[in-house]
Amino acid sequence: MSTTPAFRLGALALGLLAGVELCAAGIENRESKIENSAMVLIPAGVYVPLQRTAKDPAQVAVASFRLDAQPVTNAEFLAFVTAHPKWRRSQVSRLFADSSYLENWASDLEPGPKAPLNAPVVRVSWFAARAYARAAGKRLPTTAEWELAAGAGYTGLDGRNDEALNRDLYAWLARPVPAVLADVGTAKPNFHGARGLHGLVWEWVDDFNTAMVTGESRGDSGLERDLFCGSGSIGANDTGNYAAFMRQALRSSLKGNNTTTSLGFRCAADLPTR
Partner 1 sequence: MFGSDLLPIMKNAAVLIALFLVAASVPNVGASLDDARGRPQGTPLQEKACCAATEKPAAPKDACCAAKSAPKPAACCPATPAPAPKACCPAPAKTENPESETENYTKESLYQLEVTFTDDTGKTVALGDLRGRPVVLNMFFASCGYACPLTVTDLLAIQERLPAAQRAQTLFVLVSFDIARDTTEVLAKYRAQRALDGQWVLLRGPDDSVRELAALLGVKYKQEADGMFSHSNLVTILNREGEIVHQRQGLKGGLEEAAAALAAVK
Q: How far is the CB of 86 from partner 1 (least distance, A)?
A: 4
Nearer to partner 1, 24 or 98 (CB): 98
Q: Is the dihedral of CA 147, 149, 154, 156 positive or negative?
A: positive
Nearer to partner 1, 77 or 127 (CB): 127
Q: Is the dihedral of CA 73, 77, 80, 82 positive or negative?
A: negative
Angle at 81 between CA 77 and CA 86, to 5 degrees: 140
Which residues are within 8 A (CB) of 218 and not within 5 positions of it... i.e. 6 or more apart? none
Question: Which range, of 22-30, 66-74, 189-197, 216-224, touches partner 1 by CB under 8 A?
Answer: 216-224
| One of 28, 31, 113, 174 touching partner 1 (CB under 8 A) | 174
Distance, in Å, from the CA atom of 133 to the CA atom of 153, rounded to the nearest integer, reads 26
Burial (0-12, 13-18, 19+ Cβ within 10 Å), 232: buried
Contacting partner 1 within 38-67 (CB under 8 A): 53, 55-57
Phi, psi angle pair for 23, to nearest 5°: -60, -45
Q: How far is the CB of 2 from partner 1 (least distance, A)?
A: 7
176 in contact with partner 1 (CB under 8 A): yes
Number of residues engaging partner 1 in binding (CB under 8 A): 57
Binding residues vs partner 1 (CB under 8 A): 2, 53, 55-57, 84-87, 93-96, 100, 126-127, 130-131, 134-135, 137, 172-177, 206-218, 222-223, 226-228, 249-250, 252-256, 258, 260-263
